[in-house]
Amino acid sequence: MNRRDLEPGIHMHVPPQETYAAYLKLDVLLSAQSPRTEEHDEVLFIIQHQTSELWLKLMIHELDFAAGLVKADQLEPSFKVLARVGHIQRMLFEQWSVLETLTPFEYLKFRDALGRSSGFQSWQYRAVEYLLGNKSAEGLQAFTPGTPEHKVLSARLAQPSLYDEFLRHLKRRGHAVPADRLERDFTQPYERHPGVLKVFQDIYSAPDKAWDAYEMCEKLVDIEQRFQLWRYRHMLTVQRIIGFAPGTGGSSGVAFLKRALDLSFFPELWDVRTALTPRR
């Protein structure tokens, strides 16, 4: 018989405040989709971006936790957290495959309803960029001063990034991290430094002497690599749907997204590969 009998211990009559729907606030979550047109595919577009925002919220939650562990000189516990961040990144990457089912013809049916809204205005995405070190005060201009989003991002802009916290940790461990990399204006983009490169050369040349630092280096490279893959797929998905037309937020579209591929969160961790390779 193709059926499964319910077990007698399963709770069938649960008080409203203890239900699955109540715990997850599904009434709020599932009523948050408000299409502006009657077009079938607009719901896909909305849910794609709403779920991305949920994953970004979790990513911020985990990156903050990881940065706190590094600040407390607890590298090994941070590895578990950063592994989870990696899985979140994979989810964000794979989500593009759903949006890629949207054809240009289908998108154009509701594109005008978006107005001037754009992913560039995602304050959570900006927060992730700031957490990982891509600092840019220009990004704040997309948010109205005095709003909660602007206040949160202004604070994050001035805070050390995860990379900054790692460099500070290495200094406390006795590594010769240059002082101007430790106490600087954190609102400014990080600039690569030969002294930091030398620190990573030492770590990579003798990993057994500082295995946890060595592993942390690779964890950070993992994060940046996945982020770059996400950026690339974002660019390609946009090109697939709108070609080289301008974005709704006023950018040049694909050309603007492509330039992001030249940005690096942890430049010396990439430079060290070249520095370690024998020259012939």
Q: Distance between CA atoms of 158 and 141, rounded to whole angstroms?
A: 15
Per-residue model confidence as pLDDT tens digits over 8-21: 888 988 998 999 99
Per the structure, how many domains does the chain have? 1
Domain, as residue range, for 82? 41-276
Task: Please indicate, yes or no, if residue 168 is contained in any of the structural domains.
Answer: yes
Task: Please indicate, yes or no, if residue 24 is contained in any of the structural domains.
Answer: no
Per-residue model confidence as pLDDT tens digits over 110-158: 999 999 999 989 999 999 999 999 999 998 999 999 999 999 999 999 9
CA-to-CA separations, 275 to 23, 166, 197, 203, 270, in angstroms, rounded: 52, 21, 8, 12, 9
| pTM, entire model | 0.94
CATH code: domain of residue 264 = 1.20.58.480
pLDDT level of residue 250 (50, 70, 90 thresholds): confident
Q: What are phi and psi of 245, to 5 degrees?
A: -75, 155
Amino acid of residue 45:
F
Task: Please indicate, yes or no, if residue 82 is contained in any of the structural domains.
Answer: yes
Cβ count within 10 A of residue 37: 13
- Are the beta carbons of 68 and 135 closer than 8 angstroms? no
Q: What is the DSSP string of 104-167?
A: HHHHHTTGGGGTT--GGG-HHHHHHHHHHT---GGGGGGS-TTSHHHHHHHHHHHS--HHHHHH
Amino acid of residue 4:
R
